[in-house]
Amino acid sequence: MSTSTITAGSAVSTAGPARPRPRKRRFDIRSFAMVWGFAAPALIVYVTFVIVPVGLAAVYSFFNWNGLGPLERFIGIDNYVRALSDPTFLKAIGNNLAIVLLSLLIQGPVAIGVALLLNRPLRGRTLIRTLIFVPYVLSEVVAALAFKLILQPSGPFDALLASVGLGGLKQLWLADQNVVFWTLFFVLSWKYLGFAILLMLAGLQGVPDELFEAAAIDGASWWQIQRHITIPLLGPTIRIWAFLSMIGSLQLFDMVWVLTGGGPVNATVTMATYMMQYGFQRGQLGFGSAVAVILFLISLVFALLYQRHVLRRDFEGAVGRGA
């Protein structure tokens, strides 16, 4: 093996300059082998565990299948029709979209505001930054279980309200069908705000100090600086955060599943909990697959439209700078 390698190596060095063309072709084979050699393991794993299951789900979605036995009962698009005409699934889509919107409208501005504050010289800044990031580091299941205990009737949260004289605001946080959605959104914000703030803070580090100095010399106020310099320059970060937030909101599962199970009476059902409930708990894997495909398509359309219309500018900018 070693001799053949040497032969190959010498062939390249001696014959190379005299015959450029074969050399180039040989170089191509080499790089081709290298690219595929390195990429193949990852590619095979990706295809086996991502592409193939997605394809299989698409196939299952056209069958009435309970997970046992062979796929025999082809029913066309019946599963899709059934899902899209089920008021519970439509409610799930509505809940997902509501969380997307609320996250963008509420979490975004709050995160930017807190990041701007934390970007100023402040005593104990590192400690505050760490504390804000702690909820994001917690496992989602742990956080949900903790909130489930805190928010139970006459639980610690109600006690806290009463101790500051707000006992009248007491609600059945997780049991009242009109309140539970907002409770869920609050817990989600608590959990993910830290991540948004961290991203914004990182984005703020990329804004050159010279711009602030120049603006200050020109007599701009702190507000004017933030409004006309910081936030526009924070644009790429905000757009990436919004993208992550939307996709996360669409696929929301763990927190809801542990905190409310999608209930009570479907008040907090999301597309993913609906899929879990019908696909696995009710043992209708064909129907569950159809729901999964719908969820996948909605996420894909969101992602593609967003990349095409919003993120394109950032990507082009990055490529331009790189070249």
Partner 1 sequence: MNKARITRVGAVAAATALAIGGLTACSTGGDNGGGDGKVTITWWHNATSDPLKGIWEDVAKEFEKDHPNVTVKVEGYQNEELQRTLIPNALRSGSGVDLFQAWGGGEIKDQVAAGYVQDISDSAKGTIDAIGPVVSGWQVDGKTYGLPFQFGIEGFWYNKDLFAQAGIENPPTTLDELNDAVDKLKAAGITPIAVGAGDKWPAAHYWYNFALKSCSPDVLKKAQSQLDFSDPCFVKAGELLQEFIATNPFQEGFLATSAQQGAGSSAGMLATGKAAMELMGHWNPGVMGGILKDDTGQADATPPSFLGWFNFPGIPGTDGDPTAALGGGDGFACATWAPKECVELLEYIDSESVQKRFAESGAGIPVLPAAQSAVTDPNLQQVLKGLQAASYVQLWLDTAYGTTVGGAMNDGIVALFGGQGSPEDIVKGMQDAAATL
| Sole residue written with tokens 């979209």 | 97
Q: Which residues of 231-256 are buried (b: 16+ CB within 10 A; e: fewer)?
A: eeebebbbeebbbebbbebbbbeebb
Q: Report which residue type is found at 5.
A: T
Q: Report which residue type is found at 98.
A: A
Q: How far is the CB of 141 from partner 1 (least distance, A)?
A: 13
Q: Which uninterrupted H or E stretch holds 273?
A: helix 271-275
Q: Contact letters (x/-) for partner 1, 5-44, by CB under 8 A? A: x-xx--x--------------x--xx--x--xx--xx--x
Of the candidate residues 278, 290, 293, 295, the single one contacting partner 1 (CB under 8 A): 278
Q: How far is the CB of 84 from partner 1 (least distance, A)?
A: 15
Q: Contact letters (x/-) for partner 1, 219-258, by CB under 8 A? A: ----------------------------------------
Of the candidate residues 66, 126, 130, 221, the single one contacting partner 1 (CB under 8 A): 66
Q: How far is the CB of 66 from partner 1 (least distance, A)?
A: 6
Q: Does position 280 bind partner 1 by CB under 8 A?
A: yes
* Non-local CB neighbours of 73 within 8 Å, separated by 6+ positions: 63, 64, 65
Q: Contact letters (x/-) for partner 1, 140-159, by CB under 8 A? A: --------xx--xxxx----
Q: How far is the CB of 209 from partner 1 (least distance, A)?
A: 49
Of the candidate residues 23, 82, 191, 239, the single one contacting partner 1 (CB under 8 A): 82
Q: Exposure of 191 by Cβ count < 10 A (0-12 exposed, 13-18 middle, 19+ buried)?
A: middle
Identify which of residues 107 and 266 has a Cβ nearer to partner 1 in the complex: 266
Of the candidate residues 16, 235, 248, 264, the single one contacting partner 1 (CB under 8 A): 264
DSSP 169-186: G---TTT-TTTHHHHHHH
Instruction: Measure the CA–CA gap between 3 and 9, rounded to whole angstroms.
Output: 10
Residue pair 108/313 in contact by the 8 Å Cβ criterion: no
Piece in contact with partner 1 (CB under 8 A), picked from 118-126, 173-181, 203-211, 299-307: 173-181
Identify which of residues 4 and 205 has a Cβ nearer to partner 1 in the complex: 4
Residue pair 100/305 in contact by the 8 Å Cβ criterion: no
| Nearest one of 230, 204, 197, 199 to 107, comparing CA atoms | 197
Q: Does position 162 bind partner 1 by CB under 8 A?
A: no
Q: How far is CA 159 from CA 113, 180, 227, 240, 259, in A?
A: 30, 18, 41, 39, 20
Q: Does position 265 bind partner 1 by CB under 8 A?
A: yes
Q: Does position 260 bind partner 1 by CB under 8 A?
A: yes
Q: How far is the CB of 113 from partner 1 (least distance, A)?
A: 33
| Sole residue written with tokens 């699934």 | 89
| Nearest one of 284, 269, 296, 302 to 82, comparing CA atoms | 284
Of the candidate residues 174, 196, 255, 256, the single one contacting partner 1 (CB under 8 A): 174
Q: Does position 138 bind partner 1 by CB under 8 A?
A: no
> Residue 90 half-sphere exposure, CB side, CA atoms within 13 Å?
6
Q: How far is the CB of 138 from partner 1 (least distance, A)?
A: 19
Contacting residues toward partner 1, per CB under 8 A: 1, 4-5, 7-8, 11, 26, 29-30, 33, 36-37, 40-41, 44-45, 48, 64, 66-69, 82, 148-149, 152-155, 172, 174-177, 180, 260-261, 263-266, 277-278, 280-284, 287
